[in-house]
Amino acid sequence: MMGHAAKALPFVSDEERAHWHDQALWFVRLKRDRQAESIPEWEALRESASAIKAHTLSRLADYLEEFERNARANGIQVHWARDGTEHNTIVHRILAGRGITRLVKSKSMLTEECHLNPYLEAQGIEVTDTDLGERIVQLRREPPSHIVLPAIHLKKQDIGELFHKELGTAQGASDPSYLTEAARGHLRQKFMAAQAGLTGVNFAIAETGGFVVCTNEGNADMGTSLPPLHIASMGVEKVIPRTKDLAIFLRLLARSATGQPVTTYTTHFHGPLRGGELHVVIVDNGRSAILHNETFRRSLACIRCGACMNTCPVFRRSGGYSYGYTVPGPIGSLLAPLRNPSHFGSLPFASSLCGSCSDVCPVKIDLHHELYAFRQELVRQKIVPLYKRLAMAGLSWVLMTTWAYCLASRLMRWFVPRLPRALVYGPWNPWGRQRELPQMPRESFRDLIKKEPT
Ligand code: SF4
């Protein structure tokens, strides 16, 4: 089974692209900082959001039942799915029961998690992702590489090539306005032909039985206003108690995600269209198990803003595909091994533990401490390979034993200068080349050490 480092190798080997990816995400991170700094009560908002999430998670079943009661009273049909398979079956049953073969879908990481697209396509239903980034990766038959910016790993030239092949745009064209216009025309036809629309749910309000979907492109609105059937897929953790709580989350979400003051379209759904149907599928898919895990239950507070990815030095330099899970980055490095520790056991180690993720998280999930705790858990469960456990135990003993520490320091001082340069900076270490290391000195390490003042 390939770990994070091995999966990251193709990405980090393309130095130019990895550097560009790093800078693109850092730009988003800086935009987020400017927005956060422009609001004096930013930290108070984060505190409130964190407290609301902690409270909601402590009474999750009650709030979900309240949401269901009120949603039904609004004419919304509510379904419960234990896992991804049940979710897909329910969605298919609704569509097949009405003879629907064309579905448009706005961004929903939950449907990615459940692998809904391939499931429906295998049943003869055409699914079109309508978020521009999602449509791009769908045309490339790839999953999203980031939860908010699904095609952030691609340059405009890559998209120009793809659109030339798939949408017939001019060869070599890479002007973003031209490409966006072409995508708009293509998607417009899909919207007009759709028989049903599927959206995710950003926030479901227990008090009213309504829910909110945030997009920047208005694609959720188009996809749910034209066809008479709307299906919304919602993870159990999306519920919040009251409408007034929403204001706090909406102020935090767009600023943390893309550095915008507010998402362009924030749409409230409180019932079906006249003569139409609205279904909400509430999905557990392993979330209840996380809720019962006292150490890591806070990971369910995540509002999927992506800020922890944009700031993470490992994510920025290794790309979303190196995580091998629907949700990458620091939060994915918790969620994935919580679902399958032996398969995703390398992810908690894909972190510098610098704490930047915890600093930006709008709901104050203590990501880096949780990642550290997860490492210890993996060692306890013996999922970390034996050689690594032995190395860590040995190192821990050396650090705690004065004479061993002194001896090891002497040995390292002798050994490191004799390491071949290629091991440190050369082609054998593409990961090391991506880091902001000082320029390789012309002198050997041995000469440099000799020069050091005593
Ligand atoms: S863990 Fe926090 S920063 Fe990361 S995506 Fe979730 S809410 Fe955003």
For ligand 1, mutation pick of 42, 46, 251, 365 (most atoms within 8 Å of CB): 365
Residue 109 pLDDT class (50, 70, 90 cuts): very high
Contact 79, 282 (CB under 8 A): yes
Q: Is the CB of 307 under 6 A from ligand 1?
A: yes
Going by their DSSP bridges, the two strands 229-235 and 196-199 should be labelled as parallel
Question: Per residue in 146-187, pLDDT tens?
Answer: 999 999 999 999 999 999 999 999 999 999 999 999 999 999
Contact 271, 74 (CB under 8 A): yes
Mean pLDDT of 219-225: 96
Q: Is the CB of 308 under 6 A from ligand 1?
A: yes
CA–CA distance, 358 with 334 (Å, rounded to integer): 13
Residue 412 pLDDT class (50, 70, 90 cuts): confident
How confident is the model at residue 235, as a pLDDT? 98
CA–CA distance, 212 with 200 (Å, rounded to integer): 9
Q: Is the CB of 36 under 6 A from ligand 1?
A: no
Q: Is the CB of 361 under 6 A from ligand 1?
A: yes
Question: Per residue in 236-295, pLDDT tens?
Answer: 999 999 999 999 999 999 999 999 999 999 999 999 999 999 999 999 999 999 999 999
Question: Per residue in 347-377, pLDDT tens?
Answer: 999 999 999 999 999 999 999 999 999 999 9
For ligand 1, mutation pick of 303, 326, 327, 347 (most atoms within 8 Å of CB): 303
CA atoms 120, 121, 126, 128: torsion sign: positive
Which residues pair with residue 204 across a beta bridge?
A: 211, 239
Mean pLDDT of the residues in the chain? 93
Distance in Å, CA 104 to ligand 1 centroid: 27
How confident is the model at residue 2, as a pLDDT? 85
Q: Which residue's CA is minimally distant from atom 8 of ligand 1?
A: 305
Using only C-alpha atoms, the chain has a radius of gyration, in whole angstroms, of 24
Q: Is the CB of 229 under 6 A from ligand 1?
A: no
Q: Report CA-CA distances (Å) from 377 to 28, 30, 93, 345, 413.
A: 33, 34, 40, 10, 33
Q: Is the CB of 253 under 6 A from ligand 1?
A: no
Find the length of the chain: 454
CA-closest candidate to residue 25, choices 415, 328, 416: 328
Q: Which domains are assigned to the chain?
A: 1-38+301-384 (no CATH), 53-285 (3.40.50.10420), 386-451 (no CATH)
For ligand 1, mutation pick of 359, 363, 366 (most atoms within 8 Å of CB): 363
Residue 233 pLDDT class (50, 70, 90 cuts): very high
CA–CA distance, 51 with 58 (Å, rounded to integer): 11
Q: Which residue's CA is minimally distant from atom 3 of ligand 1?
A: 361
Q: Which residue's CA is minimally distant from atom 4 of ligand 1?
A: 308
How confident is the model at residue 421, as a pLDDT? 63
Q: Is the CB of 257 under 6 A from ligand 1?
A: no
Q: Is the CB of 46 under 6 A from ligand 1?
A: no
CA–CA distance, 447 with 394 (Å, rounded to integer): 30
